[in-house]
Amino acid sequence: MKILVATAATVIMSGCASSGTQVQDTSLTQFQKGITTQADVIKALGPPQVQTTESDGTRSIAYVYTHAQAKAKSFIPVVGLFAGGATGQSSMTRFHFGKDGKLESYETSSSTTDVDTGIAGGRSSTSETNTAK
């Protein structure tokens, strides 16, 4: 019985991975157009994963987050061959700053992916959401 519990715990713990910085919609309310600077955003959220400087002097920074998790059925012997798969979520929040270094706008996008990898059929579906402010 102890071996079964230990195995189940190991499977649950090893079935997912996350990377990046997740920006919650609720935290976006602290950033004000024309007032917030790039340094303010970095202080609040940490270093961005992407930084861009345009030829006109404007800048953008982006925070990207990805989370993937194997479906529990993937770890069941034999059943995993037919019903295995994974789910994943990703999001990106991009902040745009003018030449004066003040926030001009921001946008968020997110997607969810569901992949079935079993022998019965490799089906996948993706949904996306985009918001600009």
Give the pLDDT of residue 10. 44
- pLDDT tens profile 48-67: 999 999 999 999 999 999 98
Q: Percent of the chain having pLDDT more than 90?
A: 44
Give the pLDDT of residue 29. 92
- Of 125 and 114, the one with more pLDDT: 114
Residues in the chain: 133
- pLDDT tens profile 68-113: 877 766 555 655 556 667 778 899 999 999 999 999 999 999 888 8
Indicate the residue type of 44: A
Domain parsing of the chain, residue ranges: 2-132
Q: Is residue 7 within a helix (H) or strand (E), and if so which, with residue range?
A: helix 2-14
- Burial group, residue 9, by CB count within 10 angstroms (0-12, 13-18, 19+): exposed
**pLDDT-based confidence at 12, cuts 50/70/90?**
very low
Residue 70 tokens read as: 């194997």
What residues are paired with 124 via a beta bridge? 115
3-state secondary structure of 80: helix
Give the pLDDT of residue 58. 95
Nearest to 94 by CA among 80, 78, 83, 110: 110
Contact 65, 90 (CB under 8 A): yes
* Share in percent of the chain as helix, strand, coil (round to 5): 25, 45, 30
